[in-house]
């Protein structure tokens, strides 16, 4: 048996344990379930030990399997560190960089910032996935993620602040001509609002109301949407007042489709972070992406 065959069997074994099932591991490895099962069987024959309990309804390691898994993790970690150390020493980033980013921020800011890297670094390939859910970088194989808002605690991830997302209150000129422009928070009484709804919460308006201590602010929210482009479209159509991130709002202010309202009111901005798996040595491809975002993103996020 070659060293490559041994490593393949070990990698398959670790993937099966991490996935919790032969079927899911096969999908992630782009193999058939039968091929994964045969690989594990060969590994057990070579080791002379049973790694999994076969009689339980869910996948479970034997005592020998757990001990072997722990050692395999340490060995693969050392190999990853060796790869990363060599990669970090190269002048030119190379390989495939997989990035996860929120849908609209990714399309409007992250992709435009990172795409030029493929021209300046010929050996670098870039894959960007746009998704508003919190991806599991290690489980899903991402090198880097961009996240908006507070970060959860994780011992396996490293974060770097890239800037802040500011929001502004705005409306279409047609709406303001019809309903008037509120001079202050109290003047919002009776105005219609378009709410950004996520996780059963009206984002933005709730914060505004919380800051309006002692004032009877009643907002007529007749429209709730979970997509920022749809919020902008509804506001342009004259459906009411809306909070929008400045990086998205800027184009509509320039075109005159939307007008800022109550410029003196500011919500607390949301920090934006780059997040990547913790490794002893940061790969060059990840380092150049983070450096590029640090250089280019803050200007894209500034209010006009």
pLDDT digits over 6-62, tens only?
Answer: 777 888 899 888 888 888 888 888 889 899 989 999 989 988 999 998 766 678 899
Q: With bands split at pLDDT 50, 70 and 90, how would you rate the model's confidence at 207? A: low
How many of the other CB atoms lie within 10 Å of CB of 184?
11
Cβ-in-10-Å burial (0-12, 13-18, 19+) of 99 comes to: buried
Tell which residue, 194, 110, 100, has the closest CA to residue 143.
100
pLDDT digits over 232-244, tens only?
Answer: 999 999 999 998 8
d(CA 152, CA 138): 15
d(CA 260, CA 255): 13
β-strand pairing of 220-225 with 192-198: parallel
List the domains of the chain with CATH numbers. Answer: 3-86 (1.10.10.10), 95-161+272-301 (3.40.190.10), 167-260 (3.40.190.10)
Task: Using a pLDDT cut of 90, give the percent of the chain over it.
Answer: 27
Q: What is the mean pLDDT of residues 229-255?
A: 90
Q: With bands split at pLDDT 50, 70 and 90, how would you rate the model's confidence at 173? A: very high
**Tokens describing residue 258:** 């939307």
Q: With bands split at pLDDT 50, 70 and 90, how would you rate the model's confidence at 214? A: very low
Out of 51-60, 105-114, 202-211, 224-233, pick the least confident. 202-211
């Amino acid at each position: 048996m070659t060293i490559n065959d041994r490593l393949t069997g070990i990698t398959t074994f670790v993937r099966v344990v991490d996935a919790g099932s032969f079927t899911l591991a096969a999908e992630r490895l782009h193999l058939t379930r039968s091929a994964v099962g045969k690989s594990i069987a060969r590994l057990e024959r070579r080791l002379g030990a049973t790694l999994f309990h076969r009689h339980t309804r869910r996948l479970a390691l034997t005592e020998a399997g757990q001990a072997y898994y722990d050692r395999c993790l340490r060995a693969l970690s050392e190999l990853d560190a060796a790869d990363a150390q060599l990669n970090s020493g190269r002048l030119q980033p190379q390989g495939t960089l997989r990035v996860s980013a929120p849908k609209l921020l990714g399309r409007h800011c992250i992709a435009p910032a990172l795409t030029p890297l493929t021209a300046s670094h010929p050996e670098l390939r870039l894959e960007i996935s746009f998704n508003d859910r919190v991806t599991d970088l290690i489980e899903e194989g991402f090198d880097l993620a961009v996240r908006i808002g507070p970060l959860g605690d994780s011992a396996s991830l490293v974060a770097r602040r890239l800037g802040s997302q500011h929001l502004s209150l705005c409306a279409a000129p047609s709406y303001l001509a019809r309903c008037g422009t509120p001079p202050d928070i109290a003047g919002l009484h009776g105005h219609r609002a378009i709410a950004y709804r996520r996780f059963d919460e009206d984002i933005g308006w709730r914060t505004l109301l919380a800051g309006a201590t002692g004032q009877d602010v009643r907002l007529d929210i007749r429209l709730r949407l979970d997509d920022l482009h749809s919020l902008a479209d509804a506001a342009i159509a004259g459906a009411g007042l809306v909070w929008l991130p400045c990086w998205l709002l800027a184009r509509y202010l320039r075109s005159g489709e939307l007008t800022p309202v109550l410029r003196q009111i500011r919500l607390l901005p949301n920090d934006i972070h780059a997040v990547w798996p913790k490794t002893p040595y940061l790969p060059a491809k990840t380092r150049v992406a983070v450096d590029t975002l640090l250089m280019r993103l803050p200007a894209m996020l500034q209010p006009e």
